[in-house]
Structure 1
Amino acid sequence: MTHRIVLALDVGTALGWAVQRADGSVESGRVELSKGNRQGVRLHAFRVWLVDQLTRLGEIDTIVWEHAFRQPGAANEVHHNLVGVLLDFAERNRIIDYHSVDVKALKGFATGNGNADKDAMVAAARAAGYPVRSHDEADAVHLLRYEISGRRVADLPRLHEARRKRQQQAKRRRAANQNQKVTAA
């Protein structure tokens, strides 16, 4: 059985991530994005990380992230700038299924309490069988669980059609590259 390839992100300088691969396996982790003096350095590091994930996974069907709001001070600006990079990445790579999940809905799904704290989110992830090491990773795992649980009904026929088109485009690019190699020889 082929599963959707889902990338779930707790977007921030400490980036929590979780992914479901096509074979249904799940992996997760946490990445510390550069805390350089300039925000552009951080945004570039995030873009590079996203490209690396796409390369590693081969393709991504769905991207989901936590919709953070009312964050204090600079954290709000950082979050929204990183989401801007994420949206640009999704569009450039023809990932048409991307969306955010409200924080309260996610916490309610994970713990039964829409106001759960970070420790409760970590405990809930561990109770569900995910050996997370941080609250950022726990949030990403819960985002992934939320997405694949069907709480948000995905338009699967549209996703399958998009995947088929991407595969056809890749096949045409490979053929064109082969023709260029033959012509050059």
Structure 2
Amino acid sequence: MLALDLGTSTGWAIRGHDGLITSGTVSFRPSRFDGGGMRYLRFQHWLEQLADDSGGLAAIYFEEVRRHIGTDAAHLYGGFLATLTAWCEREGVAYQGVPVGTIKRFATGKGNAGKDAVLAAMRQRGFQPADDNEADAIALLLWAMETRGGVL
């Protein structure tokens, strides 16, 4: 089971077949020589590699963002979401978006909690996320495990 906080700095958390949780962030920031679609190709390649390295993915949960601060952020999110859902459809992997407020409420008790509150909540649970993207992914994975039993 994989949880993603989609973006240029994508937070991820995965629960392996052995039950262990691993997490991190990966950057899809383009270099100055990249064309517009290279970040999405790198994202797709990363997904394929993660699926191979983990022995396959049964389900992917992603943070479903409904409002963006700017147009560029909305376009980037849309590109990552389209790449993710197309990959899942092609590979036969179940996927589900989870609203941001649901994840924050689960992690902190408040649906409008700030980034620092989610980070602190994940640290209180014994995780050491490097940033808010990783913390959001961990919170989403824990939500999926505790409220859905890891099943879509």
Give the TM-score normalised by the residue count of structure 2.
0.93
Q: Which has the higher helix share?
A: 1
Residue of structure 1 aligned with 2:130, choices 127, 133, 142: 133
- 1:94 maps to 92
Q: How many residues align?
A: 149
Paired with 2:98 and 2:71, the residues of 1 have a C-alpha distance of 22
CA deviation map 1:68-90 (0-9, x unaligned):
12112200110011011001111
- Contact 2:59–2:151 (8 Å) recurs in 1: no
- 1:29 maps to 24
Give the letter aligned to residue 39 of structure 1: G
* Structure 1 residues without counterparts, runs of 5 or longer: 1-5, 156-185
Residue of structure 2 aligned with 1:85, choices 80, 83, 86: 83
Give the TM-score normalised by the residue count of structure 1.
0.77
- 1:149 maps to 146
- 1:171 maps to none
**What does 1:1-185 align with in structure 2 at a 5 Å threshold?**
6-36=1-31, 38-71=35-68, 72-95=70-93, 97-151=94-148, 154=151
- 3-state secondary structure, aligned to 2:66: coil
Which stretches of structure 1, 4 residues or more, deviate above 2 A after TM superposition? Answer: 34-39, 150-155
* Structure 2 residues without counterparts, runs of 5 or longer: none
Paired with 1:93 and 1:135, the residues of 2 have a C-alpha distance of 29
- 3-state secondary structure, aligned to 2:37: helix
- Contact 1:34–1:41 (8 Å) recurs in 2: no
Q: CA deviation at 1:154?
A: 3.0
Paired with 1:39 and 1:146, the residues of 2 have a C-alpha distance of 34
Query: C-alpha root-mean-square deviation of aligned residues, in Å?
Result: 1.4
Paired with 1:121 and 1:135, the residues of 2 have a C-alpha distance of 7
**Larger of the two Rg values belongs to structure:** 1
Paired with 1:22 and 1:133, the residues of 2 have a C-alpha distance of 24
Report sequence identity in percent.
35
- Contact 1:36–1:42 (8 Å) recurs in 2: no
